[in-house]
């Protein structure tokens, strides 16, 4: 049913869960980069917005055997996105080099079909008009257009940074499809103090993710669904890897 | 009785045509007039004097930054390369520029005909192969700046490039028309 496009470049993110301390720097830098306004009531998780969200996992055991892990969750930019075919107005699409799933706010009618379709809960609805307290509006970034209330938004791997990198490539005479890894890095990757996130083009052997994604400790979330996310996780702990998919008690895996 | 009612209902075709005509006039003429407010530039700038008279070209003032992004409008500093502190010519407009802006260290609040909405990402670098005038009004040969029409509802300029124009050209030259080629 999907029309799969073989992109020459495919940007992927690799998150080393064993390095993530759950500090939330990725979430904060994402909000600053993408003009997500401070919420009136941040504790109301049904109505707040976070393109990047850190989940806490645990191994289900009690002290002293208890272990926790943190899992940062952006939009997976799925190869076969569930969110795209359901959109009645083509406000979201996967059709451009890099494989990033687009989201066009002025076109979105806010029906939220895509939110219902996305199994990763990566999409958010704007319940309120964004408001920046006086003075804080000076921190608005030119990288992302602001959204009014009533439309859906999601992580786009800081797409404007990719556009800027391509512009630089043209200026410096480099092929925009074969840019060095450090020319395009999303905000969360840059701000992670423990270096848990690696980002690059999986089709480019010079990019670290090319190898990382094929490590024996690498996995993706809900791989069983066949949506082929462009976000990989790495953990050397088996209990973490196990939680990436739903398994029934009788199932052998 | 029947006949009378029929004729009353019909009222002739005239009122109908008057209605159509009124709608057309309102739709095609009155509404567009009301929708846009007309604004004048702070003072007139003659491109022609600079291009023909001084032998300058677009790139003498309109340039790129190092990363390939467009530098926007030339600032006072660019103009001051020639128009230092004194008035060179004898036009009123130049005098306004020098005395009201340059000497007071104030940038000129030019109205930009072609600003795009916030959600558009446009790279001049990517379009370098084209003539400026393929998209921009050909002001290089004109002595006066055209009036600026501002959409009262959206606040955008009427003269700005429309999405269908971008899409048509992309289709014609075989460039992708994916949303994220131009949007952010
Ligand atoms: S994670 Fe959800 S929103 Fe992102 S591409 Fe996949 S289905 Fe769509
Ligand atoms: S909420 Fe917007 S993007 Fe999502 S399916 Fe509806 S129109 Fe499309």
Least confident window among A5-19, A183-197, A239-253: A239-253
Give the residue on A whose Cα is nearest the Cα of B122: A163
In whole numbers, what is the pLDDT of chain A averaged over residues? Answer: 93
Average pLDDT over residues B130-136: 87
Q: Which ligand is nearest to the CA of A2?
A: 1
> Is the Cβ–Cβ distance between A157 and A13 less than 8 Å?
yes
pTM of the entire predicted model: 0.87
Residue A108 Cβ inside 6 Å of ligand 2? The answer reads yes
> Is the Cβ–Cβ distance between A94 and A102 less than 8 Å?
yes
Asked if residue B1 has pLDDT above 60, the reply is: no
In whole numbers, what is the pLDDT of chain B averaged over residues? Answer: 86
Band (pLDDT 50/70/90 cuts) for residue A249 is: low
How far does residue A79's CA lie from ligand 1's centre (Å)? Answer: 9
> Is the Cβ–Cβ distance between A199 and A192 less than 8 Å?
no
Give the residue, B57 or A16, on which the prediction is more confident: A16
Band (pLDDT 50/70/90 cuts) for residue B8 is: low
Encode pLDDT of B17-34 as tens digits: 999 999 999 999 999 889
Exposure string of A9-43, with b = 16+ CB inside 10 Å and e = fewer, is bbbbbbbbbbebebebbbbbbbbebbbbbebeeee
Encode pLDDT of A75-122 as tens digits: 999 999 999 999 999 999 999 999 999 999 999 999 999 999 999 999
Beta-carbon separation of A104 and B67 below 8 A: no
pLDDT at A58: 94
Residues in chain A with CB shorter than 8 Å from the CB of B68 are 167-168, 170-171
Encode pLDDT of A127-145 as tens digits: 999 999 999 888 899 899 9
DSSP-assigned letters across all residues of chain B: -HHHHHHHHH--SHHHHHHHHHHHHIIIIIHHHHHEEEE--SS---HHIIIIIT---HHHHS-B-TTS-B--S--HHHHHTTS-SS--S--HHHHHIIIIIITTT----PPPTTPPPTTB---TGGGTTS-GGGTS---TT-SSPPPEEEETTT--BTTSPPHHHHHHHHHHHT----HHHHB-
Percent of chain A with pLDDT over 90: 85
Beta-carbon separation of A170 and B126 below 8 A: yes
How far does residue A156's CA lie from ligand 1's centre (Å)? Answer: 10
Average pLDDT over residues A216-245: 93
Minimum-distance ligand 1 atom for the alpha carbon of A121: 2
Beta-carbon separation of B176 and A95 below 8 A: yes
Q: Which residue CA neighbors atom 4 of ligand 2 most closely?
A: A114
pLDDT at A1: 43
pLDDT at A39: 87
Asked if residue A3 has pLDDT above 90, the reply is: no
pLDDT at A63: 93
Band (pLDDT 50/70/90 cuts) for residue B58 is: confident
Least confident window among A18-27, A228-237, B113-122: B113-122
Nearest-angstrom CA–CA distance, A89 and A108: 7
Encode pLDDT of B76-122 as tens digits: 888 888 887 666 777 888 888 888 888 888 999 999 988 898 899 99
Beta bridge partners of A200: A12
Q: Is A93 on the interface with B (CB under 8 A)?
A: yes
Nearest chain A Cα distance for residue B142, angstroms: 31
Query: How many inter-chain contacts (A to B, CB under 8 Å) are there?
Result: 62
pLDDT at A211: 95
pLDDT at B4: 54
Give the residue on A whose Cα is nearest the Cα of B117: A145
DSSP-assigned letters across all residues of chain A: -------S-BEEEEEETTT-----HHHHHHHHHTTPPPPS-TT-TTT---SSEEEEEE-SPPTTS--EEEEEE-----SS-SHHHH-TT--EE--STB-PPEE-TTT-----HHHHH-TT--EEE--S---PPTTGGGG--TTS----TTSEEE--SSHHHHHHHHHHHHHHT--TTS--GGGS--HHHHH-TT--EEEEETT-TTSHHHHHTTSTTEE-TTGGG----SEEEE-S-HHHHHTTS---TT---
Average pLDDT over residues B119-147: 88
């Amino acid at each position: 049913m999907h029309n799969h496009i073989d992109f020459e470049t495919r940007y992927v993110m690799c998150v080393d869960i064993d390095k993530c301390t759950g500090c939330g720097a990725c979430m904060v830098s994402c909000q600053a980069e993408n003009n997500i306004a401070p919420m009136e009531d941040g504790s109301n998780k049904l109505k707040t917005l976070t393109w990047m969200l850190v989940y806490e996992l645990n191994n289900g055991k009690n002290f002293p055997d208890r272990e926790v892990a943190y899992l940062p969750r952006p939009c997976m930019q799925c190869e076969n996105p569930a969110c795209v075919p359901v959109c009645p107005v083509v406000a979201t699409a996967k059709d451009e080099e890099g494989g990033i799933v687009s989201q066009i706010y002025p076109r979105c009618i806010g029906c939220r079909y895509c939110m219902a379709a996305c199994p990763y809960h990566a999409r958010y609805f704007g319940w309120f008009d964004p408001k920046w307290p006086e003075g804080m509006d000076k921190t608005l970034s030119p990288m992302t257009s602001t959204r009014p209330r009533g439309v859906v938004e999601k992580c786009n791997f800081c797409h404007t940074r990719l556009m800027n990198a391509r512009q630089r490539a043209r200026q410096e005479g480099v092929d925009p499809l074969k840019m060095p890894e450090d020319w395009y890095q999303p905000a969360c990757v840059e701000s992670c103090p423990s270096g848990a996130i690696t980002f690059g083009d999986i089709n480019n052997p010079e990019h670290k993710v090319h190898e990382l994604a094929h490590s024996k400790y690498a996995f993706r979330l809900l791989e069983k669904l066949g949506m082929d996310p462009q976000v990989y996780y790495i953990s050397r702990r088996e209990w973490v890897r196990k939680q990436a998919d739903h398994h029934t008690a009788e199932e052998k895996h | 009785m029947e006949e009378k009612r029929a004729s009353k209902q019909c009222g002739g075709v005239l009122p109908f045509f008057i209605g159509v005509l009124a709608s057309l006039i309102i739709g095609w003429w009155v509404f567009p007039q009301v929708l846009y407010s007309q604004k004048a530039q702070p003072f007139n700038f003659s491109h022609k004097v600079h291009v023909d008279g001084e032998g300058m070209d677009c790139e003498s003032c309109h340039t790129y930054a190092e990363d390939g992004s467009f530098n926007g409008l030339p600032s006072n500093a660019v103009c001051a390369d020639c128009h230092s502190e004194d008035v060179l010519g004898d036009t009123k407009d130049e005098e306004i520029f020098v005395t009201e802006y340059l000497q007071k260290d104030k940038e000129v609040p030019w109205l930009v005909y072609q600003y795009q909405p916030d959600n558009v990402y446009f790279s001049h670098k990517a379009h370098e192969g084209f003539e400026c005038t393929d998209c921009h009004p050909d002001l290089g040969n004109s002595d006066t700046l055209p009036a600026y029409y501002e959409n009262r509802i959206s606040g955008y300029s009427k003269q700005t490039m429309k999405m269908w124009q971008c899409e048509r050209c992309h289709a014609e030259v075989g460039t992708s028309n994916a949303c994220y080629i131009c949007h952010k």
